[in-house]
Chains A and B, each alone.
Chain A
Amino acid sequence: MSTAKRFAALVSEDLEHIRLMCRAIDVLILCTEDGFNVSSSGANEVQINKLSAVVSSMMSLGESAFHVLATNAPVANIVIECASSKIIIERVPYRKTRFFLMAKSGNVPLGVVLVALRQGAIAIGKKLADFNRSSPQGEQA
């Protein structure tokens, strides 16, 4: 199994756990900083690939907005709301490579989704670190 597939399999249970913690979340996508999907839940393949690229653009634009305002720090999250849904993008706390976790939820309080997503992101960040330690040289994510 390729490293990408092993890693995707490793975090898929974390994605399902997030959806269990907040049942209003119907789509979850974990992607890289440069817009590639790593793992997902609740979306079809076309949606997954498009959303992974859109998420990386959005996080980068968020960072650019702060940069223009002379605040240079990594963006922690982005929230988008419409009448019936929310999209939240959360940065996975992991130092080596940047990953983003995106959730789309129904109309529930923002805090409920944020807490579930943040806890999930922390768990994935820890798993990434463990995965990296156990991977052979040159296969690191």
Chain B
Amino acid sequence: MTEQPSSLDPRLQRIAFIGPFGVGKSTAIRTVSDISVLGSEAEISPHVLHDDIASGKHLTTVAFEYGEIRTSDEERFALFGLPGQDRFEHMWRMLIPSTIGVVLLLNSQDSMDVCETWLSRLADYAPHGNLVIGVTRLTQVSEAALQPYRALLTQHGASGAAFAIDPRKTEEVRCAVIALVAMHAWRSRRAVTAE
């Protein structure tokens, strides 16, 4: 099947999906993208060659995944799924500053230190401050379960949102993207009003 050119607008705005290794970034992009996703997955090399965590995964993203999503008749966005390991920091530095916002996926089974680390990193790479935290693998979705993430966002002076997300569910990932787009639109309008 030949795909139509995705956009005539060269300024197709970008959204990044980021978070720890194995959290579901690639799955989320594949779940929500309107086009077939361009991947950059490499086979995880034999564990005897390095000390990476044994995760049971066979593939890992080494550059970025690219997908696109249409959120309304007028709006479509490029989705970039970035690698989670520190050694691919060059990809974060290259792509995150060019985005309008970031969906940070975090595993609810990880400690809040992981969230803290990622929020600190994003303060450097994402000066726009548009951030949605998607918490995965929550056994019971409740406000209480999301509260620690919201508290950390406030501590970091970020005005983002935190949702429970199953990266396999289109509506849940889509909801995070739409929240991010709304946040970006609101901030842009506020900036114009302030001028």
Contacts and interface: CB of A to CB of B under 8 A. Distances in A.
A81 interface: no
B43 A61 contact: no
Interface size band for A: 20 to 34
Interface of A is mostly: helix
A53 B90 contact: yes
A97 interface: yes
B48 A139 contact: yes
Contacts of B48: 2-4, 139-141
Interface string B88-120: 111100000000000000000000000000000
B78 interface: no
B11 interface: no
B90 A54 contact: yes
A105 interface: no
B44 interface: yes
Contacts of B40: 57, 60-61, 63-64
Interface centre among B40, B44, B45, B89, by most A CB within 10 Å? B45
B38 A35 contact: no
Interface residues of B, number: 24
Interface centre among B41, B50, B66, B89, by most A CB within 10 Å? B50
Contact of A57 (B43, B49, B63): B63
Nearest to B50: A36
Interface centre among A33, A35, A141, by most B CB within 10 Å? A35
A53 B50 contact: no
A77 interface: no
Contacts of A139: 48
A38 interface: yes
A52 interface: yes
B39 A64 contact: yes
Contacts of B39: 64
A58 B91 CA distance: 10
A33 B63 contact: no
Given A7-B49, A34-B60, A36-B49, A64 B43 contact: no
Nearest to B43: A33
19 contacts: A3-B49, A4-B49, A34-B62, A36-B45, A36-B52, A38-B49, A53-B85, A53-B88, A53-B90, A56-B42, A57-B40, A57-B83, A57-B90, A60-B62, A64-B38, A64-B40, A64-B66, A68-B38, A97-B46
B58 to A, nearest CB: 10
A41 B43 CA distance: 25
Given A32-B49, A34-B52, 10 more contacts: A7-B49, A34-B45, A36-B50, A38-B49, A49-B87, A53-B62, A53-B87, A60-B41, A97-B46, A141-B49
A17 interface: no
A98 interface: yes
A67 B63 contact: no
A57 B83 CA distance: 10
A50 interface: yes
B63 A64 contact: yes
Interface in B37-81: 38-46, 48-50, 52, 60, 62-63, 66
